């Protein structure tokens, strides 16, 4: 069997994850679908094999709220030594209440930022010139705020509030994208982030009393998972997506970031503190 280029997609069984996986599979890549719910992932995997005619899709369990799980997933790839062409950090969460992981991280922070950070850092040795990393962010990064060390253990300074914490994780992931792109530029590795806009996925229904009303009034006017996934797909697969690095992209195009973000005063501290947290697994 032909050895195809390898792509890894987290949250591949979700709304946008399925759409991204479909397009990457159609483009002829061998795909590892990294899923929090592997049983659901296997159903999606079989459907996509039938739809795309690409049988080189496989499901691997990955729990981004567990750094040992992230490390184990990455170690398996490292032991196989297969070059990675595409890494799509798509998985994310918007938690309804406060909870900490076994590593003492607020769960949203682990799933949306620290887990993807560790995964990417561990897989970098398998990447080469032309490899692409795409991180799924959100327009809410613009209202994000990083208060250390509160960010890591509780998501924010003060009481739990899901939207600000989510925004903080997306700011952190955006800064990580910019910083990593600079660090690996000489190796020819491309690192960008995609803002999908407001997408009609299950993450919108957050089980508060007003959420059903939010669904009724806003869901018809927001993007489908395919529309939301479009920017990430372009960054992964098009020639244009390989010609820029360290950028934020929305609606299929680069969105210029101000110096407030490209020279963010906390970028260096964020990298250093995150490195300290993940160091036992690097």
What b/e sequence results for 31-48 when a residue is b if at least 16 CB atoms lie within 10 Å of its CB, and e otherwise?
bbbbbbebeebbebbeeb
Name the nearest CA neighbour of 56 among 36, 37, 82, 78. Answer: 82
**6-197+229-281 maps to which CATH number?**
3.40.50.720
Name the nearest CA neighbour of 257 among 168, 215, 195, 207. Answer: 195
Q: Is 141 a catalytic residue?
A: no
* pLDDT at 63 > cutoff 70: yes
Spot the catalytic one: 29, 113, 166, 261.
166
Mean pLDDT of the chain: 93
pLDDT band at residue 198 using 50, 70 and 90 as cut-offs? confident
pLDDT band at residue 222 using 50, 70 and 90 as cut-offs? confident
DSSP string, 128-151: -TT-EEEEE--GGGGG----TTHH
What pLDDT, in 10s, does the model give residues 111-152?
999 999 999 999 999 999 999 999 999 999 999 999 999 999
* Residues paired with 193 in a beta bridge: 135, 248
* pLDDT at 8 > cutoff 70: yes
Domain boundaries, the chain: 6-197+229-281
The pTM of this model reads 0.92
């Amino acid at each position: 069997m032909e050895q195809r280029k390898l792509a890894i997609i987290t949250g591949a069984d979700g709304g946008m994850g399925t759409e991204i996986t479909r397009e990457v599979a159609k483009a002829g890549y061998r795909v590892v679908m990294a899923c929090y719910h592997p049983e659901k992932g296997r159903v999606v995997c079989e459907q996509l094999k039938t739809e795309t005619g690409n049988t080189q899709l496989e499901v691997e369990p990955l729990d981004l709220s567990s750094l040992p799980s992230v490390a184990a997933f990455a170690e398996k790839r490292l032991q196989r030594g297969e070059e990675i062409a595409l890494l799509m950090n798509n998985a994310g969460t918007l938690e309804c209440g406060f909870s900490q992981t076994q590593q003492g991280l607020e769960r949203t922070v682990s799933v949306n930022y620290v887990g993807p950070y560790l995964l990417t850092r561990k897989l970098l040795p398998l990447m080469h010139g032309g490899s692409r990393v795409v991180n799924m962010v959100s327009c809410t990064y613009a209202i994000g705020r990083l208060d250390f060390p509160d960010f890591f253990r509780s998501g924010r300074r003060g009481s739990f509030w899901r939207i600000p914490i989510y925004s903080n994780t997306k700011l952190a992931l955006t800064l990580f994208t910019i910083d990593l792109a600079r660090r690996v530029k000489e190796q020819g590795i491309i690192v960008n982030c995609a803002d999908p806009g407001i997408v009609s996925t299950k993450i919108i229904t957050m089980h508060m009393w007003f959420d059903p009303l939010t669904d009724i009034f806003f869901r018809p006017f927001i993007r489908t998972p395919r529309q939301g996934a479009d920017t990430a797909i372009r960054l992964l697969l098009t020639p244009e997506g390989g010609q820029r690095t360290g950028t934020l992209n929305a609606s299929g195009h680069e969105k210029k970031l101000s110096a407030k973000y490209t020279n963010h005063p906390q970028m260096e501290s964020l990298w250093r503190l995150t490195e300290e947290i993940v160091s036992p697994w690097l």
